[in-house]
Amino acid sequence: MRLALLSLDSIVGDLAGNAARIRAAAEPIAREGVPLIATPELSLLGYPPRDLLLRTGLIERCIEATRALAVDLARGGAGESAVIVGTPWPCESGAGISNACVVLRRGAVECVYRKRLLPQYDVFDEARYFAAGHQPLCIDVMGQRVGLLLCEDLWRGEDVGEGTYFGDPVGDSVGEGAHLLVAMSASPFFAGKHVQRLRVLHAAAQRVGRPIAMVNATGANDDFIFDGGSCVLHPDGRGAFTQPFGDDQLRTALDVREQAPAAAAEADELARAVVAGIRGYVRKTGHRGVLLGLSGGIDSALLAALAVAALGSDAVRGVSMPSQYSSEGSRSDAIDTAKRLGMRSPDLLPIHDLHVLARQHLGAHCDLSGLTDENLQSRLRGITLMTLSNATGALVLSTGNKSELAVGYATLYGDMVGGLAPLGDLTKRQVYAIARRVNECPQVIGLSTAPIPPSSIEKPPSAELRPGQVDQDSLPPYDTLDAIVEGWVDEERTVEEIATRNALDLSVVRRWTRAIDAAQYKRFQAPLILKVSARAFGPGRRMPLAMRWTPDAR
């Protein structure tokens, strides 16, 4: 039997556009006689729909769009194929809605499968909106029984080390006579996720002795990035595969038995993920382009490279905003970055005169020494960027990384301004690793030449807000800081565990874990952060702002 897995990039709420995308992908394949075509979870509405699901009339429109799509597919030559489409659908009882997939065949909705396991961890909150289904569903395709699953029904949280469920949708489908299992997913990316997915999928196929086909979404919606990576995996571990972040739809015969492709290096997949996240957010929100402060440092240089890879050089505008403390090397590195990327030369808008005026205006009312003056400079840069954004319609990209955001080494309404923080889930170590990788192999992100000036990578990182300043005046070495951030945020370890695992002084770990918790109010006001780790700042880490708990509390 032949089947097709369509890793579509849906736009949340765009019922007509998503239906058109499904038709454009499915109809040519169906006309070739492929009898089974599957699309990702909630492919018609887009994932994640969040509180859009609470809007009056939405479900009725989803039903109308689904039935109209069935008719249109039949008219377009896809009537004899079973086309599986993800959409919200009323519960069997009529009360509430389910996260469902519908089988469209011969111009009608043939049957409906309702997702049985609803994830309630990390970024997921499906029980807020959906009621769980209770029954397995198998359909007949060319004499084969095909069991349908939706995302968590297959993964059961095992791909992220979360989730405790009653029931076994995979086993139940086999109990209903399934020869093949097809899982529709909208499984968000994080570093290493694809390898974990294949491991879980292989274990499930081995357990039940059946091949499993998985179709995953691609593109990005808000902070979610989807890597595609659809596949058919047999119990022996072989099958048919697409590369993560590729554009290929998987069209294959069920009996194909190829080896899984080698896993990509972390820096490669992180770079591709951020590119996909920038492209998805900017294009789907309709912005005319992006702009960012080009300081000559590593963060802004890498972000400029990833933005150009996502949108093209004409859509990315750099702004150089030197102060009296900015080095000549930083200014020249900013110009070099733009030149390497084919951008126009950065707009030169020094903040010195603004800084003098602001100090004159405010100096009689407050002490402008130290950190207050440093933050004032950062906020003047923020004003500059947001004014240009208002005037041009370009989206400001914040250049901050996870290490800085974690401990509050970032200025509210200053370097934190913007609509999107593409690097906000990358530690400083990862920023350096990706920068070196894209310089070594720019083709990883679709560029032809090394995009980042070597001096931006080699020089000590500095905000240049006072004479001779470097980050390590205020922070521990980034290797130390990142070990603490990863242990406290990503892994939820204790202070003692972090200190022991990394051979760090307990007082250092205690100081910086307290700083992470104290900076939560800043992150609450941060731009949208693209999720590329297992635990990103944002919806998946909802910490209180006004709290007095500490690890030492008794």
Active site residues: 41, 115, 151
Tokens of 282: 């900017």
Structure tokens belonging to residue 255: 């009996």
Structure tokens given for 293: 């402060």
- 85/70 Cα distance (integer angstroms): 10
**Residue 413, Ramachandran bin (φ over 0: left; ψ between -120 and 50: alpha; else beta):** left
**DSSP one-letter code for 237:** S
Query: DSSP label at 128?
Result: G
Output the furthest CA–CA distance in the chain (Å, rounded): 84
Classify residue 157 as left (phi > 0), alpha (psi -120 to 50) or beta: left
CA gap 104, 67 in Å, rounded: 8
Mapped onto helix, strand or coil, the DSSP state of residue 548 is coil
Distance from chain centroid for Cα 26: 26
Q: Per the structure block, which two tokens stand in for 308? A: 């150009």
**Can you tell me the distance from the alpha carbon of 307 to that of 289, in angstroms, rounded to the nearest whole number?**
10
User: Does a cis peptide bond (omega within 30 degrees of 0) precede residue 460?
Assistant: no
Residue whose tokens read 């250049």: 399
Is-contact 159 196, C-beta < 8 A? Answer: yes
Cβ–Cβ < 8 Å for 211, 205: yes
What's 531-550 look like in SS3?
A: CCCCCCCECCECCCCCCCCC
Backbone angles phi, psi at 488, to 5 degrees: -80, -40
Q: By the 8 A CB rule, do 123 and 158 touch? A: no
What are the tokens at 340? 């390497």
Strand-strand pairing, 144-150 and 180-185: parallel
Q: How far is CA 382 from CA 385, 389, 410, in A?
A: 5, 10, 12
User: Cα-atom radius of gyration of the chain, to the nearest Å?
Assistant: 25
> Residue 5 in 3-state DSSP?
strand
Task: For residue 288, give the 3-state DSSP assignment.
Answer: coil
Structure tokens at 122: 């990390």
Angle made by CA atoms 139, 140, 142, in degrees to the nearest 5: 145
SS3 29: helix
Question: What 3 state SS string does 417-457 have?
Answer: CCCEECCCCCCHHHHHHHHHHHHHCHHHHCCCCCCCCHHHH
